[in-house]
Structure 1
Amino acid sequence: MADQTRRVHFVLSTHWDREWYMTFQQFRYRLVKLMDRILEGWNTGELQGPMQTDGQAVLLEDYLEVRPERRAEIEQRAREGKLVIGPWYAMPDEFLVSGESLVRNLRLGREVARQFGGTPSCAGFTCDIFGHNSQLPQIYAGFDQAAALIWRGVNTWDKRTLPWEGADGTVMPAFRFGLSGYCTYAHKVRGRPGSPESSDPDWVRRQIDDQLAWDAECTDTDAILFFDGCDHNEWDPLSYRILAERFEEESGGFEVVHTDLDAFVKEMAAQADRIQTRVVGELREPAEHSLMRDNQWLIPGVMSSRVWIKQDNAACEKLLTRHAEPLGALSNYLLNREYPSGLLNVAWRWLLKNHPHDSICGCSIDQVHEDMKFRFSQCRGIGEVITSDTLLRLAANVGEPVEADSTRVLLWNGALTPVDGSVEVTLQIPADWPTFNEFFGFELKPGFRIYDAEGN
C-alpha cells in the first residue's frame, strides 16, 4: 500500500425496509421522525455532510406524502448534494423479479432523483439482498454505476474490495461489507442503544480506532469506507460528534471526511488495479464462517415462500411488458392514439413497490403481504384496461366496417415467438343470432360461420 494518507469516507445512511416486521405505515411513522431530525441537523449545522437515501428514492416520496410542506427543502438539499438519491426507485430482490423490472427500477429511481433536483447516485447499492445475479455488473454498467456495494452471497469476510465479473464479461469494482454487513459501523462504533458504553466518549473513540485498523487491513485501495446505515437507524449525534473531531485532519496516516458513497466508489474504482481477490458470476454462496467472523447468511428459502406473491408478480410483469406496453405502442403507430405513458408509469410504480426483498421474498409479517395484494391489483387494473381497450380499438379498425349481423374477433399474441396451432377462445354470441338444434333437442345451439380477415 502507498505511504500517502488514506482517506476514510464516513457515509451516513439508513437501511430503510419499507415493510418487514412492521407494516409500511408503522415504519413510515418512524421515517418521518428520522427525516425531520436529518433536516434539523443540517439547519442547525450539527450535521455537516450528506445523507445517502439507502440507494433508493421511494423513501423521499413516502416522507413527502406526509410532509408535503417540506418539498422545497428536500429539493434544495438534493440540489446541494446533501441528499444523495438512488440509483434504485425501491431496492429490489435480484432473483424474484425480471431483468426488465430491474432496468425499470433503476430508470425510475434515477428519474425521481432528477425530479428532486439531484444527481442520481453512481453507487450500485444492494446492501442486504439475498445473493446477487450474474448480470448485475452488466446492468449497473449500463447505468454508469462506478461500482457495486454488496454483502450476502460471497464469503470473502476479510476483503472489502473485489473485482466482480458478470455473465457477459463486464468487470465492475465491488465493495463487500464486513462482519455485520452494512450494520458493522453501527454495531461496533455506536454500540447497543441505551447501553452504558454507547454513551461513553472514550469507548466510542477506542471503537473507532479498532474499526479503522481492521478496515484498513482488509481494503486494497487507499479509500476506506465507514458506513453508518443500519436497519431503520436514525443518525447518532454523540458518535457523530466524536468522529467529527477527526474531520479534515490527518492523523496516523488517515484523513476522515464526511462524504457519500459516490465519492467513495469513484476513488475506489480509480485504484481497481490494486484489488486482488476476484469473484465471478452469480453470488449465492451459503455462509461458511461462524457469526464471530461473518454474519452473511443467505436465506435461500425465500425463493419459494408464499408462492402466490411470485405468481402474482410474474403475471403483472407479463401483463405490462407483453401486452399493455406493446399494444399501446402498436395503437400509437397504427391508429395515431396517444401512448398511455402516464398510466403505465403509475402501474410500474405500484409493481416496483412490491419488489423490495422483504416484500417479494415473502418473509415479512402477514399484514405486509396482505398490503401487497392491493398493489398487485392496482397494477393489474391499469394493465388490463389498457390491454382490453386497445384490442377493442384495433379490432374495430381491421379491414372493412363490421356488418350488422357479424362480430369481429382479434387474436393477440403477446409471446415472444409465433404461435402455430389451435387457440381456445371463449366468445359471447349475440342472443338474436340464428340457432339450430340436434336430434335430441336438449338446447338451442348458435349458428355461425368463421371467416378470416380477407373474408374467406
Structure 2
Amino acid sequence: MNNRFVCHLISHTHWDREWYLPYEKHHVRLIRLMDELLDLLEKDAGFNSFHLDGQTIILEDYLQVRPEMRGKLVQYIKEGRLHIGPWYILQDEFLTSSEANIRNLMTGFQDARQYGNVVSKLGYFPDSFGNMGQAAQILRQAGIDTAVFGRGVKPTGFNNAVEDQTNHFESPFSEMIWQSPDGSSVLGILFANWYHNGMEVPAEEEEALGYWEKRIEDAKRYASTPHLLFMNGCDHQPVQTDLTAALTTARKVLPDVQFVHSSFERYIEQVKPSLPSHLSVVKGELRSQHTDGWFSLVNTASARVYMKQKNQIGQAMLEKVAEPLAAFAHLLGQRYPHHLFTYAWKTLMQNHPHDSICGCSIDEVHREMMTRFDKSLHVAEVIVEESLKAITRHIQSDVFTEFSAEAVPFSVFNTSGWVRTGVVSVVLEIKRLPIDGKVPALVVEELQKESDEDWILVDRHGNKISSVMEDLGVQFGYDLPEERFRQPYMARKHKLTFAAEDVPALGFKTYAWIKNPVRSDAAHSEAVPNSSLVSGEREMENEWLKVAISEDGRLVITEKQSGHTFSELLAYEDVGDIGNEYVFKQPDGESAITTKGLKAAISLIEDHPYRASFEIIHELAIPKGANEVLQTEISQMVLFKERKAQRVEETVPLKIVTRVSLEKGGKGVKVKTAFDNKATDHRLRVLFPVDLKTDVCSVDSIFEVAQRNIQPAPEWENPSNCQHQQAFVDVSDERAGLTIANLGLNEYEILRDGRNTIALTLLRSVGELGDWGVFPTPEAQCLGEQTAEFEIIPHPIDGVRSGAFVEAYQFQIPWTVQQTGVHSGKLPADFGLLEWSGEGIAFSSMKINDQTDDLIIRWFNMIVEESEIAIKVNASIKEVYTSNVLEEIIQPIAHTDTVSIDVGPAQITTLGMKFM
C-alpha cells in the first residue's frame, strides 16, 4: 500500500437556517454565498465540487429569491460539482419522531428528482446533538453505506472546541463500523478535528507551511488510512474563492503530500480499500457517554418545552391521524392530497433543524417557529376533516333508525394502530338553521326551544352507553361549499363524554345520540352498569389499578396483576439553573425545593362510570431568580461549569394544579399539571421512585426501545445524567415495571438515589443562548401559564409483553370523531381496515406512496428477537410487497386473505399493497 498521505479537501458550508440570527438575516447571507459559489464554479474549472451541507432546503431557500438560477444549479448538480441531499434539513434526530426522520430523508430524495435525480448517498450528520441508534439500518434501506458525524463518540465543546481525550473514544480511529440493533452497519467517519479543520487555507507559502504541518499532524492522530479528510468550511462560512491557488501553494510547500480538491464520493471511494482489517464496531446510539458529560447538549431536550409540546402535536396529527385517515379515504375513492402533505411536512420540518427544535436560538427564531407549527397543523386539520367526511359518507348509519326517529350518528376513529379503549368527547349538532337573510336572534330563539331531555347514547346494537352531556347552547357556524358561497348558520350543540371500548385498529365505531327511543331495550340496556371508580376519600380503582393519594399529593399505585405497589409517586422538585439553552447547571451547594411532606389541597372533581379525577393543589414559594452574579458571569462569558451564581432569597409563588385521572379499563393514571411560572433561572421536575433493582432503563427512541445504562460511564463528571426520550421511559425488573409516558416532554433522568427514581422535566427556565457569544434569550425563561401531560403506567413483567409500551404510544395519539348523517353505506357501522398481530411489534405509519398510490404500512420490532407479523386487510388486495424507508418495491409477497412476514430483531419493516 502506498503510504503517501493524501489530503482530501471538501469544500462546504454548514448552514444553520436560523440560530444566533433570525432566519431572514441568515437567508440573505445564503443568497450571497450561493451567488458567489455559482460564479466560482463557472469561472474556476479547478474548483471541483462543493458539498451543500446534506440538506436540499438550501436550494429551496435560494430559489425562493433567485428562481432564475435554477438552470445553473441543475447544470452543476448533474456535473457532480454540487452535491445535494440526502436530507431535506439537518434535523435533531432525538427530538423529531421516527417517522419525521424518515420523511426528512424521503423529502431529500424527492427534491433531488427536480435537479436531475442526483442525490448524495452519504448519511450526513455533521452537528447532530447525538445520533440515533437505528441510523445504520435506515441508511442501508436507502442504499447508503457510509455516514459521517461530528458528535456522539468524542467530546466536542462550544465554539467547535475539540477536547483531547483520545483514550475515551469508542474507537481509536476516526473511521469505525457503526452498527444498528438489527445488525445493519455502515462505515462511520467521525469529524475527529471537527468539520472546520480545513477552513481558510492560506495561499501564501510561509503561512501555508505552518498551517498544513499542524493540521496534517492533527488528522494523522485519528486516521486509520493515509487518506486524510479536511473540511474546507464551517458554520455559515463563505466559499473560499482562492482555494485553487491555496492548493497550488500547498503542493509546492509539501511536495511529498498529495492535495486533492475532493468530494465525499471520491474520498470514501479511496478510503474504503485502505481501511485496516479490524475497525472498532460502535453499536447503537451515539450519545457522548464516554465523555465528561458536560457537552452532550442533551439539555436542549428541555429548553423551551412549549415548543417540544407543539412539535409532538404536529407530528402526531400528520403521521398518526391525517396520513392513515387520508389513506383510508383514498381506498374509498378520495384523492390522496400528496401536495398538501408535502407542504405540511416541509413546513413542520423547517422547525426540525438542531438549532431550531432544540430551542437553542435567539427568541425571534422560536417565535417564528410557533407560526410554522400552527401552519403545518392547520393543513393537517383540513386533511383530517376532509378525510373524515369522505369516509363517513360510506358508513351505514341508518341502523340507528331502528332505535329512534331522531338519531344523531357519529363515528369514533382509532388511528393508533392497535385496538383501543378510552374516554372520548364529541361535540354534536342537534339541529341547525341557516341565518342567511334571517334575523339571527330569531334563529337563536327557535333553536333554544329544542329540549335537551330524553336523549341517550347507544352503540350500533342499541346498547345504552353511560355518558355525560353538556348542553353548549346555540353557536354560530358556517360551511364553505365547493360550488356555492359560504353558508352561515346557527346550531344547537351537545357535548358528550363517554368511554369508547375496543375501537378497531385503523378503524372506527359508530354511535348515535338518540331522542325518545322507540325500543325499550335501547332505553334501558347498558353495556356496562353505572358504577363509580371512586373507592375512598382519596382513592380510585378499576380492574387494573388501585390509586391512593397521600396528604402531600403523592400517589400509591397498586398494579393488580402482579400485586406490586409503587409508592411516593408524583412529587415535584424545583432547583436553580444557571446554565443556558444547551446545558443545565444547578448552583453549587443548593438544596432542592420539593412537595414531599407539603400538605396539598385534594378534592374529587369528576366521578363518572367512565372516569374519576382528583385535583391536587400545591402552593410553593421558590426563589424569584438567580442573583446579579449570573448576569455578570454571562456578560463576561464565564463558562457555565465555572459559574458561582446562586438564587436570590426573594420568593414568588408557584401554585401547581394537578389533575389525576383513572379511566374505566385504563392501564395507566393520566396526569395533567398546570402552573403559572413567575420565576426565572430554574428547573421543575416531577419524580417517580421505582424501587426496583436494575442497571438499565428502556427508552422510546427512533424506531427502537433503547436499553440504556442507568449508571454513567466512569468518565462522566456532570452531576446530571439527563437523557432524551420520545414517547416514554421505563424501569423494570423480572417482577414489575413502571412506564412514564409523556406528551412533548423529551427529557428524563434516572436518579442515582438508590431508588431508580424517574425524573421527568416539565420546565427549564434560562436566560441566554450560550455557545460562542453573548446572546440574551429572555423568552427562554418560559414565564406565564404552563401545562404538561403524562401518564403513569405500572405493569407486570416487561413493558412489551404487558402492553405498557402500547399504552404509552397510544397516549400520544388523539382520538378523532366525526358526526355523520343518517344514510346507508357499504361500510358497516363498526369496521377496522387492518387487523394485525406480532409479538413485540409496534405500528408506525400508514400512508399512500406519492409515485404509485400504493398503500404503505410500517412497523418496527421493539425487541432484539425474531418475530412475525400476521396481517389481514379488510379490502381486496391485488399485490403485496416488501418495501424500504424510501417506499421502493423490494420483493413480492405471496398472499391469500392474510399476509405473514418474518421480522428480524429490531427490524424496521415496511410493506406496500396494491388494491383491486
TM-score tier, shorter chain, comes to: 0.7 to 0.9
- State the AA in 1 paired with 2:288: E
**1:448 and 2:447 aligned:** no
Aligned counterparts, 1:309-348, within 5 A: 309-334=307-332, 336-348=333-345
How far residue 272 of structure 1 moved from its aligned partner, in angstroms, is 4.6
- Kindly report which structure 2 residues correspond to 1:397-412, keeping only aligned pairs within 5 A, or say none: 397-399=394-396, 405-412=406-413
Quick check: 1:5–1:250 contact (8 Å CA) kept in 2?
Answer: no
Q: Is 1:425 equivalent to 2:422 in the alignment?
A: no
1:267/1:110 CA distance change after superposition, 3 Å: farther
Q: Tell me the equivalent position of 1:414.
A: 415
- Give yes or no for contact 2:208–2:253 (8 Å, CA) kept in 1: no
1:387-437 alpha-carbon deviations (Å, 9 max, x no partner): 012112222221166989433201111212111355333323224755448
Matched, 1:164 2:178: yes
1:114 and 1:247, CA in 2 relative to 1: closer, same or farther beyond 3 A?
farther
* Contact 1:16/1:54 (<8 A) preserved: yes
Shift of 1:102: 0.8
Which of structures 1 and 2 has the bigger CA Rg?
2
- Structure 1 residue 286: Cα displacement: 5.2
| Separation of aligned partners in 2, 1:244 and 1:199 | 8
Q: Which residue of 2 aligns with 1:206?
A: 210
Higher relative contact order (CA 8 A, sep 6+): 1
**After alignment, is 99-108 or 13-22 more displaced?**
99-108
Distance in 2 (CA, whole Å) between partners of 1:248 and 1:333 is 67
Matched, 1:373 2:370: yes
1:285 to 285, 288, 294: 288
Say whether the 8 Å CA contact 1:53–1:59 is kept in structure 2. yes
Residue 67 of structure 2 is matched in structure 1 by 68
Residue 255 of structure 1 and its aligned partner are, at CA, apart by 2.3
CA contact (8 A) 1:328 1:339 kept: yes
2:801 alignment counterpart: none
Q: Residues of 2 paired with 1:362 and 1:454: CA distance? A: 45
Measure the CA separation in 2 of the matches of 1:248 and 1:64.
Answer: 40
Q: Is the alpha carbon distance of 1:347 and 1:249 closer, same or farther for their aligned partners in structure 2, counting shifts above 3 Å?
A: farther
Question: After superposition, what is the alpha-carbon deviation per residue over 1:263-301, rounded to whole angstroms, capped at 9, x for unaligned?
Answer: 2223333445545333222111257479xxxxx932121
In structure 2, the partner of 1:356 is 353
CA contact (8 A) 1:52 1:85 kept: yes
The yes-or-no answer on 1:12 pairing with 2:15 is no
The residue that corresponds to 1:226 in the other structure is: 230
- Alignment match of 1:299 (pick from 297, 313, 317): 297
* TM-score (normalizing by structure 2): 0.44
Query: Does residue 256 of structure 2 align to residue 256 of structure 1?
Result: no
Residue 133 of structure 1: aligned partner: 132
Percent of paired sites with the same residue: 31
Query: How far did 1:230 drift?
Result: 0.4
Is 1:220–1:274's contact at 8 Å kept on the other side of the alignment? Answer: no
C-alpha contact 1:75 1:118 (8 A) present in aligned 2: no
User: Normalized per residue, which structure has more helix?
Assistant: 1
Cα distance change of structure 1 residues 333 and 11 upon mapping to structure 2, 3 Å threshold: same
Q: What is the aligned residue count? A: 433
Deviation of 1:305 (Å): 0.7
Find the counterpart in structure 2 of residue 241 from structure 1.
245
Seen in structure 2, the aligned counterparts of structure 1 residues 247 and 417 have a Cα distance that, compared at 3 Å, is farther
Superposition RMSD on alpha carbons, in Å?
A: 3.0
Q: Quick one: which amino acid aligns to residue 346 of structure 1? A: Y
- Secondary structure of the 2:173 match is coil
Q: Which residue number corresponds to residue 185 of structure 1?
A: 198
Structure 1: gaps (5+ residues)? 191-197, 291-295
1:100-179 equivalent positions in 2, closer than 5 A: 100-155=99-154, 159-179=173-193
Distance 1:248 1:351, change over 3 A: farther
Q: Is residue 46 of structure 2 the alignment partner of residue 53 of structure 1? A: no
Displacement of 1:212 after TM fit?
Answer: 2.0
Indicate how the Cα distance of structure 1 residues 214 and 160 shifts in structure 2: closer, same or farther if over 3 A, else same: same
When structure 1 is superposed on structure 2, of 424-433 and 240-249 the one drifting more is 240-249
Flag the 1:301–1:436 CA change in 2: closer, same or farther, 3 A. Answer: closer
Higher strand share: 2
Is the CA contact 1:87–1:120 (under 8 Å) kept in the aligned structure 2?
yes
2: CA distance, partners of 1:220 / 1:11: 19
Secondary structure of the structure 1 residue equivalent to 2:113: helix
Contact 2:406 2:516 survives alignment (8 Å): no
2:515 counterpart SS class: coil
What TM-score results when the alignment is normalised by the length of structure 1?
Answer: 0.87
Contact 1:323 1:414 in 2 (8 A): yes
Amino acid at match of 2:47: Q
- 1:211: Cα distance to partner? 1.4
> How far, CA to CA, are the matches of 1:230 and 1:170 in structure 2?
31
